[in-house]
Copies of this chain bind each other. A is one copy, B any other.
Amino acid sequence: MNSKNKILVIGGTACGPKAAARARRCDPEAQITIIEQSPYISSATCGLPYYIDGIIPNQDSLTVRGPRYFKQVLNIDVLVSTRALSIDRSSRKVQILDMATNSTSALEYDKLVLATGTSPVVPDIPGVKLAGIHTLSNITDAVAVKKYLTPEIKQATIIGAGLIGMEMAESLASLGVGVTVVEMKDWLLPSLLDFEMAAYVEKQARQKGVKFLFGQRVTGFEGDSAGRVFRVMTAKGQVASDIVILAIGVRPNISLAMESKLEIGEKGGIKVNQFLQTSDPAIYAGGDCVENIHRVTGQPVLVPLGSTANKHGRIIGTNITGGKDPFPGVLGTSAVKIFDTNVACTGLNESGARENSYDILTCLVPGEEHARYYPGAKEILIKLIAEKNSGKVLGGQIVGPGEAVKRVDVLASSITFGATVDDLANLDLAYAPPYNNAMDPLHNAANVIRNKQAGLAEALTPMEVEAKIRNNKNFIFLDVRTEKEWNEQHIPAPQVLLMPLDNLRKALGKLPKNAEIVTLCRVSIRAYQAQRILKGAGFSKVKFVDGSLTAWPYELTG
């Protein structure tokens, strides 16, 4: 009898190898085996879009480690092209299939790790099996897409404007392929961003030539006589397409877990406790196939991300070798580069906060990534969501050409510890002109929420103002920028009146005291200042437009 801990890991992308390597460092004696159905181990699947467009020139760069490294350095056996067929929990055996030889065998375990990942959702609609219709979840997929992208491929349709869809939009556009993104919901990155933040990103992507069809469901695909896709059909029309990327979402791979009667969570992922243990104490699960607890809501969520998978791996490696390391949950922090726009978010967005019945305050705060007088300062736009009374920060989204991800990481760190907007406003963040302003844009965003709590700042969202314009409401839409700025660009609405902030105090007599006034500028600092001047002068119905022109998601002149 062998007293060594027998560890079997199913799945070799991120969580699995990490769990195995950590287990080895904790237990030099354990017998550790990883099985992986693809030919690759330790794949960098987040790099696939960048492999397709050539930013990552070499396919080898997509595999961090090979089986040889695992054997030589870690004394871990890796069986690639090997599939787990079933788990016998009573005898602690996994039936496996060697896909190269088509032979089956059984592997024993003391501890089993399920790191089975996700599979892309493929809709069951006519033509979905035509050549040229691809998903993108592993290296094999990426190689297939790259191979299909011959010079004849002129038009691509991407189904789904999520993370992979938007990365592929950039990837294919940068190869000179015309890109149309079809999204069932009404804006891009709908599970991450609120409408007005998505609109900011959309504007940048359209400038790069990407077309969007929102609110459209794909009904089928048409192919030529060679069985190659050439058209995507939607409920509202059709799009010529030489290639199609299906990126409508992923589902956790839970069939092995289900067949062996492990508990599945309400969101459809494998259910694990805080030690990432399934309902069978000898079986752990981590990575994309499990549900996580959201650190703000305390509710289970499915947020399959490589960042989480790696943390899971370390924790599982510790726990299957005698440790007791808890995983505290996720905030769904995400980042994606879409052309020159950095997009990042953490915690709840506005719709998520409302679904969870929070009474909230939000703000839209444009800012510059570093001191304006230091060259090259680029813009960011922050949306912050906080609980109204407590001021507890629930989430944030930041987009723009400037350094957005840094601020989202600060937000994620703060939300982790239950920060309020008061806390956020006083964070001692690093300042030097090349890196930041003396007040970080996050400080300003927190202060806008505090000003709203205090009743000093009263704002309307761009959407609320647009509804007033659309419904021909009678109000003064006071643009307090300079005449020069106004000539460059302004909102084409009959209610708009130009009155530069510098003249406002002198011109107060020209404005009717009881009129409803909405103030506007470029980034809402002057608009807020104007609101305070008007309020101070006895004007009772004054609000400013949150985010002003920078966040305005609708048409402008010029």
A: residues with CB less than 8 A from B are 14, 24-26, 28-29, 44, 46-47, 50, 55-56, 61-62, 69, 72-75, 295, 305-311, 314, 327-337, 342, 344, 346, 371-375, 403, 405-406, 408-410, 412-414, 416-419, 423, 425-436, 438-440, 443, 447, 456, 501-505, 528-529, 532-533, 535-537
Contacts and interface: CB of A to CB of B under 8 A. Distances in A.
Contacts of A502: 69, 72-73
30 contacts: A26-B456, A44-B373, A46-B371, A46-B433, A50-B374, A50-B433, A55-B375, A61-B372, A69-B502, A72-B505, A73-B505, A307-B428, A307-B429, A307-B436, A311-B426, A327-B426, A329-B428, A333-B429, A335-B430, A335-B431, A335-B435, A337-B434, A403-B406, A405-B430, A406-B409, A408-B430, A409-B440, A412-B430, A416-B417, A417-B419
B308 A371 contact: no
B456 A25 contact: yes
Contacts of A309: 438
Given A28-B536, A430-B335, A529 B436 contact: no
Contacts of A501: 73
Contacts of A375: 55-56
Contacts of A536: 28-29
Contacts of A56: 373-375
Nearest to A46: B433
Contacts of A335: 430-432, 435-436
A46 B434 CA distance: 10
A47 B372 CA distance: 10
A339 to B, nearest CB: 11
Given A62-B373, A346-B428, A431-B305, A438 B310 contact: yes
Contacts of A50: 373-374, 433
Contacts of A328: 423, 426
Contact of A532 (B28, B69, B533): B28
Contacts of A433: 44, 46-47, 50
Given A307-B438, A403-B406, A405-B435, 13 more contacts: A46-B432, A47-B433, A56-B374, A73-B505, A308-B428, A311-B425, A331-B428, A336-B432, A337-B435, A412-B430, A413-B413, A414-B417, A416-B417
A409 B371 CA distance: 17
How many copies make up the complex? Answer: 2
A525 to B, nearest CB: 11
Contacts of A528: 25
A434 B47 CA distance: 9
Contact of A430 (B55, B409, B505): B409
Contacts of A334: 430-432
A439 B335 CA distance: 14
A502 B501 CA distance: 69
Contacts of A75: 505
A373 B61 CA distance: 6
A183 B399 CA distance: 43
A314 to B, nearest CB: 7
Nearest to A403: B406
Given A26-B456, A28-B535, A428 B330 contact: yes
Q: 5 shortest A-B CB distances, which residue pairs?
A: A28-B536, A417-B417, A335-B430, A307-B431, A413-B413
A433 B502 CA distance: 45
A47 B371 contact: yes
Contacts of A419: 413, 417
Nearest to A336: B432
B443 A311 contact: yes
A529 B25 contact: yes
A84 B103 CA distance: 91
Contacts of A503: 72
Contacts of A26: 456
Nearest to A26: B456
B405 A436 contact: yes
A167 B87 CA distance: 63
A29 B374 CA distance: 36
B431 A412 contact: no
A291 to B, nearest CB: 15
Nearest to A292: B428
Contacts of A72: 502-503, 505
A182 to B, nearest CB: 23
A328 to B, nearest CB: 5
